Amino acid sequence: MNATQLARARTGDEDAFRELTDPYRRELEVHCYRILGSLQDAEDLLQETLLAAWRALDQFEERASVRAWLYRIATNRCLNALRDSGRRPQAPEARRAEPVWLQPYPDVLLETVADPEPGLEARYEARESISLAFVAGLQHLPPQQRAILVLRDVLGFRAAEAAEMLDTSEAAVNSTLQRARTAFETRLPAADRERAALPASPRERELAGRFADAFQSGDIDGVVALLTDDALLTMPPEPLIYEGPAAIAEFFSVVPAAHGFDSFKLAATRANGQPAFAYATAASAGLFVLTLEGERVAGITRFRDEGFMAYFPPGTAPSWPGG
């Protein structure tokens, strides 16, 4: 901690405050995104966190680092937001799956500031902890469990640090963490599944490119040939899940085909550390995010644009092969 910067900030020096907090802005936004599942809400909560920190700077007792203090504020702001039932639009009643509120997070924002080095208590890699499957799984946990699992298993804060942030006891943190782990790990993909290609590697680009080419040309058989036997098509917050190549092929032959595949204008991008492509038709726009497993596509997640596409600037991602 820079004592001079802190002293200047306490006198009302906004530049000094920015020097203290700017190194943590992006990681705090990602933290809020993991807990809330929404990029737009995460951005709002980051601003609320910084404003609260500015107003409470005189109360900062320096028992913890500035980073830990900011995480305390951000985590509690997120928990308050989750308790506010009016903050989320109500999803339709589930029929085949529990509805979940989820938005994609653009890789271009992840690249601006490196993910922080996790503490010794962390159980998950940075790449895994931003994936759609990971963030979607978090959204099914109660707020307190969600926050504690992220603080302990993703960021690696010690139990005592998490307890201080949440104004509770170490025993309560440890008990809640065990319940969260049990519930959460049943929602993650099996650990022994074949690893996907490295992000942005030639192998990943080639597979994603084949998928995009088949989709744009209306080659449903070509799309199906790329899918794993248990591939899933989901469309948060809609509760429907299309499972397996046959069900996904039927969906594509009815819904996208009704618009005409040639009406889809695709643009390559990345979200949540995964290959993706933006789409636009005369009627709608949004994003398809691919989950890869080995040489196959194990998941397709479609998001309708609800304002988040503004965070995916054009020209920031390479073209697909042959595109």
Sheet of 296-304: strand order equals 238-243, 227-235, 296-304, 285-293, 274-280, 265-271
The conformation of residue 290, written as its DSSP 8-state character, comes to: E
The predicted-structure confidence for 150-168, as pLDDT tens digits, reads as follows: 999 999 999 999 999 999 9
10, 145: one domain: yes
101, 168: one domain: yes
72, 13: one domain: yes
Single-letter residue type at 59: Q
pLDDT at 73 over 80: yes
The predicted-structure confidence for 264-308, as pLDDT tens digits, reads as follows: 778 889 999 999 999 887 777 899 999 999 889 999 999 999 889
Kindly state the average pLDDT of the residues 131-138: 92
- Tell me whether residue 127 is in a domain: yes
Domain stops at, among 133, 153, 184: 184
- The count of domains in the chain is 2
How would residue 113 be classed by pLDDT, with cut points 50, 70 and 90? low
φ/ψ (deg, to 5) at 27: -65, -30
From its phi and psi, is residue 277 left (phi > 0), alpha (psi between -120 and 50) or beta? beta
Question: 77: which strand partners?
Answer: none
CATH number at residue 178: 1.10.1740.10
221, 279: one domain: yes
262, 159: one domain: no
Question: What is the model's pLDDT at position 93?
Answer: 33
245, 161: one domain: no
More confident: 189 or 68: 68
Question: What is the model's pLDDT at position 99?
Answer: 59
216, 178: one domain: no
The predicted-structure confidence for 220-263, as pLDDT tens digits, reads as follows: 999 999 999 999 999 988 888 999 999 999 888 887 766 667 66
141, 255: one domain: no
260, 169: one domain: no
Nearest CA among 78, 292, 319, 103 for reference residue 198: 292
pTM greater than the 0.85 cutoff: no
The predicted-structure confidence for 163-187, as pLDDT tens digits, reads as follows: 999 999 999 999 999 999 999 988 7
CATH number at residue 293: 3.10.450.50
pLDDT at 115 over 80: no
Domain that includes residue 55, residue range: 3-184
- Tell me whether residue 194 is in a domain: no
128, 26: one domain: yes
Residue with tokens 């995009």: 212
